[in-house]
Copies of this chain bind each other. A is one copy, B any other.
Amino acid sequence: MTEKQPAAATAVEMASRQREISVSEFFLKNRHLLGFDTPAKALLTAVKEAVDNSLDACEEAGILPEIRVQVSDRYGRSRVIVEDNGPGIVESQIARIFGKLLYGSKFHKLRQSRGQQGMGISAAGMYGQLTVGKPLHIVSRVAGDELASELFVSVDTARNRPDIHKKRRLPWDRPHGTRVEIELEGHPQKGPHSVETYLRLTAIANPHVAIDYSGPGGEAVRFARSTDALPPRPREIRPHPHGIELGRLIQMLSTTECRTLLDFLVDEFSSVGRKTALAIIGQTGTQLSERSYPKHIAHAQAAALHRSIRRTRVLAPRTDCIVPIGEERLLEGLRKELKADFYTAATRPAAAYRGNPFQVEVAIAYGGIGNADAERHPPATDGPDDGAENGAAELMGAKDEPVRLLRFANRVPLLYQQASCAITKAATQTNWRSYGLRQPKGALPVAPMAVLVHLASVWVPYTSESKEAIEPYPEILREIRLGLQQCARELAHHLHRELRLRREHGRRAFIEKYLPHIGVALQEILSLGDEERDSMVKRLDDVLRASRAPQETGS
């Protein structure tokens, strides 16, 4: 502050400093927005982006995914390799897919997929390039091609376009697939933010996926698939009229190729048939008719059309653009990776926010590993005794800890930013006390329990580009709450049954202890022989047992 401050600037000087900012530069400087703020998180994010891409590609091509993930580390310099048996990438696209931000096939589509913005894998490369200075190394082979393509690609950040350092064709033992190798400043974690936990959660939400993981400590884990059935491929849809803003409608009118308003409404929107379209047009109360030429519709008329669309009843959005995991598969996945006493799951019907269809699924695993009371509980009748590995323990809280939230969006586990996620908000807003759990004010309930919530949508509104938390839109919050309540009711039944069983067990112990004494007393009173006494005790026991039996059964 002692030196003279810079001179004031004139408008002309200020104008001369205006510049275009490339999207790569922007995200390089703001790399925390993409999940690359610390070496620990960067490593996990890189794995996640590569695995997301592999799974999306396999499913789109109808291939059962078989993924190999390899992480090694030397003094904070990490190497990540993700290899899949997917369809491979046509050589001419490789450089742009891996070396350009905002380039992809999923952004302009209304259809559920893991990736949606075309940034993740290029951003991982950009981070590697920044911290270690090495480009991404990609090998990919398309089925039917004799050779694979190998490329070394980095992002030219000033221009947001790929720099190809080396390119050649080479033989590869895979018939088709893609392999990505990234070197980056990383810091492998253990516990809830580890690559292994992320892969375990991925296996839970994707029971059709097989993953082989080899970690930085030499550990090797195989997550086997529990089903050979690929999930149905989601269908692409057009936007729903109730989610369209006026400005968007004006833009659509000006760019459509339809020559009449009727065709425009029927062709460009989902859930609008001829009848609905005519109802909309009829309500505008302006000079609009079914034959109006879309490109000639003025602002005031468009505003009237927009109001009319809002007032008209339209069928709910189609839902085959989203593919929930399904209650059965969810339970299978949970049972495989997480040992508990009680499981329940609920898949809500599809709903929509801003015209975007979405669907919420909730599952609960209660009691078991990590629960100090585990031994005292009767073994659950619907739970297996094996299958859950040690690593699963951290997926469920202990008796005196808040429940663990397992958050998923489009089958991808969300590991950071729990505090700002719609799922957390809905879970804290739910009144768990009324279902028999402890719950501090404004907090998650306290119980040995994992609560899994999955949001499937054609467009997940993440709170940041790093896709770690879901924006709490009211419609989304509501559906999550309803799903949680549905599962909580089942849990309440279980807890009630468990409580009754425990009371029953107490009564039984009491009877068993005192029945012999009662026998002796009866023997005296009724002057019974020893045999008569024993038979009397036996009959008493039978009667008492039978009278309680109906309470014991019931799933």
Contact = CB atoms under 8 A, between A and B. Distances in A.
Given A5-B232, A11-B90, A14-B61, A102 B133 contact: no
Given A11-B61, A233-B5, A105 B17 contact: yes
A37 B471 contact: yes
A104 interface: yes
Nearest to A100: B20
Interface in A170-228: 176, 185
Interface string A235-279: 110000000011110110000000000000000000000000000
Interface stretch (A26-34, A285-293, A309-317, A521-529): A26-34
Nearest to A142: B11
Interface stretch (A378-386, A460-468, A532-540): A460-468
B142 A12 contact: yes
Interface in A25-48: 25-26, 29-30, 32-33, 37
A518 interface: no
Given A131-B245, A463-B464, A18 B104 contact: yes
A465 to B, nearest CB: 7
Interface string A61-100: 1110000000000000000000000011110110011001
Interface of A: 1, 3, 5-12, 14-15, 17-23, 25-26, 29-30, 32-33, 37, 57, 60-63, 87-90, 92-93, 96-97, 100, 102-105, 107-109, 117-118, 128-133, 142-143, 157, 176, 185, 232-236, 245-248, 250-251, 299, 302-303, 319-320, 417, 419-420, 459, 461-465, 471, 473
Given A5-B232, A20-B103, A21-B107, 13 more contacts: A1-B232, A8-B63, A11-B176, A14-B57, A14-B60, A14-B89, A19-B103, A19-B108, A21-B108, A33-B465, A37-B461, A131-B246, A133-B299
Per CB-CB distance, the 10 closest pairs between chain A and chain B, nearest first, are A8-B62, A130-B247, A15-B90, A17-B105, A21-B102, A11-B87, A11-B142, A420-B420, A133-B247, A21-B107
18 contacts: A10-B143, A11-B142, A14-B87, A14-B89, A15-B90, A15-B92, A17-B109, A21-B104, A21-B108, A23-B102, A26-B107, A30-B462, A32-B471, A130-B245, A130-B248, A185-B245, A420-B420, A463-B464
